[in-house]
Amino acid sequence: MTATLDLLALAPGDLADPLPPWDGGITSGDVGLAVIDGVAADWEAAASEAPEALADLNGAPVITLGVLREGELAAGSAELLDRCDLVVSAAEGGDVGGRVAELLELTARAPAPALVAAQLLRGGAGIATESFAYSMLLAGPDFRAWRQADAPRPADDAGAPRVRVDERDGSWIVRLTRPDRHNALDAQMREQLCDALDSIAAAPPAPIVLLGDGPSFCSGGDLDEFGSAEDPVAAHLVRSGRSVARRLGRSRGRLVAGVHGSCVGAGIELAAFAAVVIAAESTTFALPELAVGLNLGSGGAVSIPGRIGRQRTLELLMRPAAIDAETACEWGLVDRVVAAADLEAACLRAAAEVGGPQR
């Protein structure tokens, strides 16, 4: 049985109540969404009257949506609003009511995975914590329902190389080589990436350029392998023990990622570790994990908030549609956008500027 969404309509002043407002009124087993709606004076008063509300928001068993209806917060008064999982502010322009309605609709698509994502992203999640959350959701009803409706297919390219490593212009080039599957990340690719990155780590330091062959950089995890582990604990042990994300994170200061085509799920989670991310102008970006009942599972809880903040990370997870390269650049998910024909050359130029002596 999947969870349903219970709405709580609150004012910032309700955060000053002795009992946190979400500790009553949410049906057991359902997901709460607290819409905390007020003007600048309301938020400033709550911040001064209820300093303990910061801790309450960080530990809230509900998704919190903070709404700043009008006005600007004084310096030092924004922390309470910023502690919410999602934020809509009049300062951003546009229709505040329309944005709130949009986020309510997005949350209702997959309430339980959305709540897990919101809780995961609070306070700076680590890769191990991300894996705990992912493994738990593997045993949940949302994922089971998706897996039953979309049976896995046997791989038709078992044993084929997934990664190629070259040296050029003083840099290591690590290239994903599964073009017929849009470089979907499967167990073979994970193992080959880990081995390649370990070999590079043992060599004298040099810039690393991460690219993908074919029509897409990486279309995310191979859906046909989702849920194939013996049990969620075994899945966590593999995910945390053979972590591409951890290896890329160690090398982020000298890492450049060039992305194109579909950059989905693990594709953008891994690329976002790079010091520089360059996108071809036709690239699209999406985090569709919630739609299959899962969550960030390739280091995205660490890499993506570091670039665009946790509120935008959560919203991207909840969006059914991809964003384009220009939007990704405006958000900070990528650093620059170039013509597709110039992508590799632009990455090599960027690699010459990042940390690590040239080979």
Average pLDDT, the chain: 92
Other residues' Cβ atoms within 10 Å of the Cβ of residue 202: 7
Q: Mean pLDDT throughout 324-333?
A: 98
- pLDDT of 312 > 60? The answer is yes
C-alpha–C-alpha distance, residues 293 and 288, integer Å: 9
CA dihedral of 317, 318, 324, 328, whole degrees rounded to 10: -50
- pLDDT of 271 > 60? The answer is yes
- pLDDT of 356 > 70? The answer is no
Please enumerate in sequence order all residues whose Cβ is within 8 A of that of 83, keeping only pairs 6 or more positions apart, or say none: 54, 57, 58, 64, 66
Report pLDDT digits (tens) over 5-41.
Answer: 999 999 999 998 888 889 877 888 899 999 999 999 9
- pLDDT of 329 > 70? The answer is yes
Q: What percent of the chain has pLDDT over 90?
A: 77
pTM above 0.95, yes or no: no
- pLDDT of 359 > 50? The answer is no
pLDDT at 278: 98
- What single string gives the DSSP state of each residue in 214-260? TT-SB--B-GGGTT-SSSHHHHHHHHHHS-HHHHHHHTGGGEEEEE-
Give the residue with greater pLDDT, 50 vs 172.
172
What stretch of H or E contains 269?
Answer: helix 266-271
Report pLDDT digits (tens) over 68-107.
Answer: 998 888 877 788 999 999 999 998 888 999 999 999 999 9
Report pLDDT digits (tens) over 191-234.
Answer: 999 999 999 999 999 999 999 999 999 999 999 999 888 888 98
Residues 214 and 180 sit within 8 Å (Cβ to Cβ): yes
- pLDDT of 358 > 50? The answer is no
